[in-house]
Amino acid sequence: MPVQEKKINFFITSDHFPSISITGNECSLMCQHCRGKLLESLVHATTCEELVRKALFMHKKGAKGILLTGGCDERGRVPISDIIPAIKTIKDKTGMLLIAHTGFISHEETSALRGSGLDGIGFDVIGDMKTAKEVYGLSVSEMDYVESLRAIERSGIIVFPHVCVGLHFGKLRGEIRALEMIREVKPATVIITGLMPIAGTPMAHIKPEPSDFEKVISKAVEMFPGIPVVLGCAHSSGKDREQIEMVAIKCGVSGIAAPTVHTRMLAKENGYEINYYGMCCGLVPGEMTRIDIV
């Protein structure tokens, strides 16, 4: 990375930007890499009333924002539209940043979400339809992904697409194509994540190679000049996680979500200007979300 660009943003969510599943543990897809396990550790709020109550409590405790997510229906959609009244209420009462993972989404839905005050949408893009079928169980086309991206952009809500390295059982397959599909819109941020080994799933013992992250991140940085490319919070575990973070910095990412202590120390020792933000890495950093880390 060029000396004059030795800056890095580190994103710390935890209590600053908690995640809420609006479907509880329920998910119709039960994908090969997750089986609904990722929903179990999230805060659950399955009604508008429960969501408002928990959001107000989180705000009182100092949360700067909330990620609204949940399980998908059989078409790969998260029922975010069902909680529009709650989003409006939370925005009116707290002004917190509210973002969502929606899955596939229509223009009508994004327009309604824009009216609710939703600040941004994270959208997973898969560039290989065989992967979508074999991992997610979805029979979809590239155009289904592109149309959702366009619907979000047309609504005026910022979009931060995610591309997962190694989603096809740990192997690269379609990641570069996914980046090409994302170029159909102008994203606020491009987030590169990686397959996480989750106990109790068919992929529990599978990890992508750190070198595969280098291929995808390098290409993303090349393809999206002027747009932040960030290593998302899901990027393997153990020693691999540290290796992947070092690869990401070398490739020129503008930020890393949930970095290891080792990475934070190395960045400091190597003279990087470090800024910490208590928010989801898809959003554009600002003073409101800056935090101090001792």
* pLDDT at residue 207 tops 60: yes
Q: How many structural domains comprise the chain? A: 1
The answer to whether residue 287 sits within a structural domain is no
Q: What is the pLDDT of residue 179?
A: 98
Residue type, 50: E
> Pick the residue with more confidence: 216 or 292?
216
> CA-CA distance, 236 to 196, in Å (whole number)?
5
Q: What is the pLDDT of residue 294?
A: 56
The answer to whether residue 279 sits within a structural domain is no
Q: What is the pLDDT of residues 61-120, one digit of tens each?
A: 999 999 999 999 999 999 999 999 999 999 999 999 999 999 999 999 999 999 999 999
Q: Helix or strand or coil: residue 257? A: strand
Q: How confident is the model at residue 1 (pLDDT cuts 50, 70, 90)?
A: very low
The answer to whether residue 262 sits within a structural domain is no
Vertex 193 angle, CA 126 and 267, to 5° = 155
Domain that residue 53 falls in? 17-253
Q: pTM here?
A: 0.94
Q: What is the pLDDT of residue 17?
A: 94
Q: What is the pLDDT of residue 3?
A: 43
Run of H or E residues at 277: strand 273-277
Question: What's the rounded mean pLDDT across residues 253-274?
Answer: 95
* pLDDT at residue 4 tops 60: no
The answer to whether residue 12 sits within a structural domain is no
CATH of the domain at 124: 3.20.20.70
Crossing angle between the packed helical segments 175-182 and 142-155, to the nearest 10 degrees = 40
User: Are residues 10 and 255 in contact, defined by beta-carbon separation less than 8 angstroms?
Assistant: yes
DSSP 148-162: HHHHHHHHT-EEEEE
The answer to whether residue 39 sits within a structural domain is yes
**3-state helix vs strand vs coil in the chain, percent to 5:** 40, 20, 40
> Pick the residue with more confidence: 175 or 13?
175
* Number of H-type helices and E-type strands within the chain: 10, 11
Question: What's the rounded mean pLDDT across residues 1-21?
Answer: 82
